Structure 1
Amino acid sequence: MNAQVDPAQVSAVAEAAADGIEFDGFAAETEGEGYVLATDEGSKRVVHGDDIDDAAADYAAHVTNWYFWHAEAPQAAERWAFLRWLERADDERVPDRYDALAAGVTREWGQLRITATADDTGSRRYDLRHVDDADADPADLDDHDDPLDAREITKHDDRGRYRPLKTAPTLQTGWRFSGLGPADLVTAVEYVYPATVANWHREREGALDVSHWRDTVDRQSGIYGVVRTWDRGEGHEHVDWVAEACCDDSQCLKRREWQYDEETDLDVDGGDGEFPCREPCSVVISAARRWTKLEGEESRTYEFELTPSEKEQIEEIVGAVADGRSDDIREADVKDDANRYRARFLRAKRFDDEGNLSGVPTEPDDDAGSADAGGAEERSADEDEADEEASG
């Protein structure tokens, strides 16, 4: 890319040279009545003050690059670092980086696809869209130019369902932001994935403040205080189950950094996300509250009559729902155990009119059982109230 220096950029370099410039392989300083300009490529030029314009033109890529990062890019440390990461500024020398920016440098941030470009004065512009729309014709995407629009885009998935967890891998497709400036780009990203840029930067700086499971649940109160009672002398196995259920890459794009406590790691992988998760989120705590109550039930032995294939089918149905594959199973694919018609056939064959598997009721038919059932119903209503509060 053939960079061009404008007068404002020359004036800025001349002024900053008084204190010395050393940035991205470019150096400038005053010397008597003139200036010394140099690059890490081995070039050096000493010029009189009146010749600074011509000299700056000879160092156009470096001058415009310096100007962008010090006069146009946001100066907040986390935003500045994120924008440099986007164009691999710490990995590429300026001339090579400008060549790449001419074609567009693309990075992924969760389900976001961000492409950075630079014009001939070094100003960066950014294209933001869903990763699944990488090859989509721009004419087929809804154009946006206000970063605030990102708030609406994140509310619902492609099926119109509300997304309570912003970092779930369910971001809707079919949109794009084009020509965003650096500040607007980071603002849009932060609306899609709140606090991820700041936490990513803190982690890079070794300053990520992690709140582990025990720290977090010990702070819970009110209807969520019950989660504090879940340690029953069985170590952290139950927290492993929570993390496996909620904190997998298939469920959340963050990389879990919190553990059971400061000294005790969980036995579940934290995922591969680009940005870290520093504490159990409200969705995890809300789910854990429900599981805390469910795990308080005593185990019972039930006797069912199933064929081996039916047992495997039930296992496959649970797996398909847990992994989010059920919507992808075609109605015509009756070979799949989790196929809807296969499931309906199993229900018709093995469930009674009250919905009991193999006709076996959940509660025994006695007074104690009826009382237990009433308690379960009360807990369910309570949980509905908690779920509504969490969603709100």
Structure 2
Amino acid sequence: MLSLKNQTEGNLAEAEVDFVPVIGFLILEEGEAAAAINITILEDDTPELEEYFLVNLTYVELIMAPVTSFPPRLDSEGLTAQIIIDANNGARGMIQWQHSRFEVNETLESVILVAHRSEEALGHVSLFVYAQNLEAQLGLDYIFTPVSLHFSDGERHKNIEIMILDDDIPEGDEKFQLILTNPSPGLELGQQTIAVITILANDDGPGVLSFNNSEHFFLREPAALYVQESVAVLYFVREPARGLFGTVTVQFIVTEVNSSTESKDLTPSKGYIVLEEGVRLKALHISAVLDTEPEMDEHFVCTLFNPTGGARLGAQVQTLITVLQNQAPLGLFSISAIENRATSIDIEETNRMVYLNVSCTNGIDLAVSVQWETISETALGMRGMDVVFSIFQSFFGQASFWLVFLYFGRFSIWYNVKKIIIYYLPMARDFYSSKGFNDTKS
């Protein structure tokens, strides 16, 4: 049996602060070749670099030994063990990216990232930095060589420069990562060890948005006869054809021409169009609104604005839409006999007056004119080519007026909304001539 005496000695590490000093004995039974010495290391909150202390073997003796001429002895080498307490509590600092998200344009040429060393900055430390492709490709979209970063004692920052390559290919947003790893002993890594760099869509990668033509749309209000003519189909196109990256949106508004007033006669009058990735063309249906008010032609313009997702507006961003007049805004005219509102009159040959009523509905708050005339060569026995009573009649604040015809003989009267047509016998002309009505006005 052997008894070994050991003793700890502090060197840099402070006894009772960094470790518990002990003096003790080890007993190695017969046949044993090794035994353990337990040393307690104390934990504290103080940032510290490497500290060490020594454990020494002091002497050895034989216990209950038989008579021998070769007693145990201490070797001349290996009597001292050095215990190293690694740097702790951030003594060498903590390193992470100062910012972990970057967005750059392809034309920027380069982007600089900063590795920041926080907390304590004691001693020399190092770590490794490398790039990881996502959508962006090393050598095609950017250039970076993996490198070891070395921080000297007290150094807080290191700059990393990455070259951005510019080309003329339409592309969407492309990303790659720059990663911090493999810190030297005692150096800690923070949470932001991965920086994501986004090369924004370029060369019109998200597309140029515009209307696909300059067509002027003419609509009617959706009455039964004009349902198909009440809708305008506007097409939004995204160019160039290979620039369809990402989802983009564009807003539109329908206003009166030369005004910012939103239209109430077309629907929808505003909104936005979404073109998903890969979608080049979308349609917008704009419909005329049915109302009961007589209206003249109304002119509107649909305008694109505020594109998102990296898209921009093209040249054709406005389309004209005209809603044609409806409900006869200048008046709806009719003519009929005053007596029975008949559409035709048959009269026996006699001397009498014929009274006709011309009526105007809609647009009665306007000053309008209507032309009426008699047409010859339509009745049996008609002589000559004369046209009589061809005049313009104006309406001023009234909804109707009546006409008086003095006739001799038999004639008939028909009408439509544009003209009053009177057919008369030649005796009527002779009668008027005999009464002295020979000039044009008469």
Q: Provide TM-score, normalisation by structure 2.
A: 0.21
Q: Which has the higher helix share?
A: 1
Q: Which has the higher strand share?
A: 2
Q: Provide TM-score, normalisation by structure 1.
A: 0.23
**Rg larger in structure:** 2
